[in-house]
Amino acid sequence: MSDHQNSSPEGAISHAVWTRGCLTQSKPDMLATEVPVALVYNGISHVVMMTTPKDLEQFAIGFSLSEGIIECPQDIYGMDVVPSCNGLEVQIELSSRRFMGLKERRRALAGRTGCGVCGVEQLNDIGKPITPLPFTQTFNLANLDRALKHLSDFQPVGQLTGCTHAAAWRCRPVN
């Protein structure tokens, strides 16, 4: 079986996946790669998420915004992606005010979508119900439909593999 890893784009790998009994047919298919990624704020590890090792700075900003860790990207003074033995670390330098707010919060980061395992603090937390968020957002459905139609344009790994998550940020006001 030939190895197509070198010609694969970042975040995907080509691998033979078709087998039947003892027979294997070398038919390459693109699979998404995921690695454990620790988000480390001002030297303190906050959460580990399984994610594609691509666009990690954008992932860290989006996670930080959606979790209320930052109010805007300017609350982040610097960011470095550092390989480690067990995955990758995104080392994020926060403003003092945002870091103090983060330290005061209890970590309750069960993944909001997908399988719900990412972000849990301990195994016993898997499967516990998630408290619904308050209804504070309204959306123009035509704008939402238009955005969803173009979301895949920004997901090259998803286009190749058909199996990656996506996230988008909505700015107010929406035109």
Q: Give catalytic residue positions.
A: 115
Q: How far is CA 77 from CA 41, 68, 69, 95, 99, in A?
A: 11, 16, 13, 7, 11
Find the angle CA(154)-CA(35)-CA(62) to the nearest 5 degrees: 45
Q: Report yes or no: 40 and 91 within 8 Å, Cβ to Cβ.
A: yes
Decide: residue 12, CB within 10 A, 0-12 exposed, 13-18 middle, 19+ buried.
Answer: buried
- Opening angle at CA 104, ends 100 and 105, nearest 5: 120
